[in-house]
């Protein structure tokens, strides 16, 4: 295991150089949240943020009746997060995803829910680094896009730094994985709900910083508890990338400043009112194809957080967007309430 204990900051990164800037800031894959409507809205707010799909299981892709790989070209760059533990099935899905135009394949080794564990994927895979390595290699062998891992810093009583290093070492050397996204909490595989697993195990950012120092040749992003761009900037002093989860969803206006603050200071900050208006053509197109307004606007409820009229915006959409025949006029009326600051 690497033993470099230097506390020097990481200021230059060489691995996956062409991909590094793309992964500098991303929105986490969140089940039932980061669907294609959500990603389209987030893309309006930021052109550079890497967007992840919800976790999609290999079984759904291979055997499901729906199109679980669908996305709009306007959402790019988009990464697909896969759930599974069968190397052959993962390779098959990775190949399909690359053909559809995804920029990255990410393996879920972090979700602790019982449902996920029953399918033998998610955080429980941390206990079998060889299997994770085999899964990554199987996908690497059939695609040319990056294949990455999103994981925790430990599971149950297997939460030592040595355990984490052994996992990273095996998956990177035997699997060929060059990019890891580390949720800076361990996961309890029993006794805690998924929500509690996001809140109760303490965050350990220094451990992730040390991991990057000990594996400087790997690209590493951090996830967990990040709520502001100032916090993201602090993490970027030590790491290659930052992934934000619920804050980006519940307060999506944070994304309006990402391009300016984290990518190019010459980029303009997106006006949130304009961002909502930019959604109008998309909403009309989706409604014409049978989508329900509420399925789109539910991802937009938090956009005016902290602005006078935000409560009226949320209330009006929540009360009206799910009604039969609800159309763009509902969004226009809700927006008018915010503009009047009511």
Which active-site residues does the annotation give? 111
Is 225 a known ligand-binding residue? yes
Is 115 a known ligand-binding residue? no
Tokens at residue 43, please?
Answer: 């893309």
Task: List C-alpha distances in Å: 207 to 4, 74, 131, 170.
Answer: 13, 37, 24, 18
Of 294, 220, 248, nearest in space to 46 by CA: 248
Is 246 a known ligand-binding residue? yes
Is 29 a known ligand-binding residue? yes
Residue with tokens 């944070």: 254
Of 251, 247, 219, 252, nearest in space to 232 by CA: 247
Of 272, 270, 325, 320, nearest in space to 297 by CA: 320
Is 224 a known ligand-binding residue? yes
d(CA 229, CA 240) in angstroms, rounded, equals 15
d(CA 209, CA 212) in angstroms, rounded, equals 5
Torsion of CA 149, 152, 156, 161, to 10 degrees: 100
Q: Is the peptide bond before 166 cis (omega within 30 degrees of 0)?
A: no
Is 101 a known ligand-binding residue? no
Is 223 a known ligand-binding residue? yes
CB 147 within 8 A of CB 177: yes
Is 110 a known ligand-binding residue? no
Is 306 a known ligand-binding residue? no
* Residue list, annotated binding site for FMN: 29-31, 81, 150, 183, 223-225, 245-246
* Residue list, annotated binding site: 29-31, 81, 150, 183, 223-225, 245-246
């Amino acid at each position: 295991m690497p033993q470099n204990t230097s506390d020097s900051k990481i200021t230059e990164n060489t691995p996956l150089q062409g991909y590094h800037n793309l992964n500098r800031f991303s929105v986490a894959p969140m089940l039932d949240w980061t669907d294609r409507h959500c990603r389209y809205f987030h893309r309006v707010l930021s052109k550079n943020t890497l967007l992840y799909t919800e976790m999609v299981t290999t079984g759904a892709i291979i055997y499901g009746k729906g199109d679980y790989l669908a996305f709009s070209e306007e959402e790019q760059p988009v990464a697909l997060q896969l759930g599974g533990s069968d190397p052959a099935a993962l390779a098959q899905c990775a190949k399909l995803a690359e053909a559809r135009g995804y920029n990255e394949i990410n393996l879920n080794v972090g979700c602790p829910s019982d449902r996920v564990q029953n399918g033998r994927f998610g955080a429980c895979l941390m206990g079998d680094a060889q299997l994770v390595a085999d899964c990554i290699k199987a996908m690497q062998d059939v695609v040319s896009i990056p294949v990455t891992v999103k994981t925790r810093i430990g599971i149950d009583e297997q939460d030592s730094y040595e355990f984490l290093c052994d996992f990273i070492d095996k998956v990177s050397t035997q699997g060929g994985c060059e990019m890891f996204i580390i949720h800076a909490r361990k996961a309890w595989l029993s006794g805690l709900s998924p929500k509690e697993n996001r809140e109760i195990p303490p965050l350990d950012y220094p451990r992730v910083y040390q991991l990057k120092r000990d594996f400087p040749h790997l690209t590493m992003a951090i996830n967990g508890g990040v709520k502001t761009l100032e916090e993201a900037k602090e993490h970027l002093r030590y790491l290659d990338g930052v992934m934000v989860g619920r804050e980006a969803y519940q307060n999506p206006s944070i994304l309006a400043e990402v391009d300016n603050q984290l990518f190019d200071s010459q980029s303009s900050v997106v006006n949130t009112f304009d961002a909502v208006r930019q959604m109008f053509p998309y909403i009309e197109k989706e409604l014409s194809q049978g989508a329900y307004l509420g399925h789109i606007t539910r991802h937009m409820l938090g956009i005016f957080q902290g602005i006078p009229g935000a409560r009226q915006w949320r209330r009006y959409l929540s009360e009206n967007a799910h009604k039969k025949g609800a159309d763009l006029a509902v969004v226009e009326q809700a927006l008018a309430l915010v503009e009047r600051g009511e």
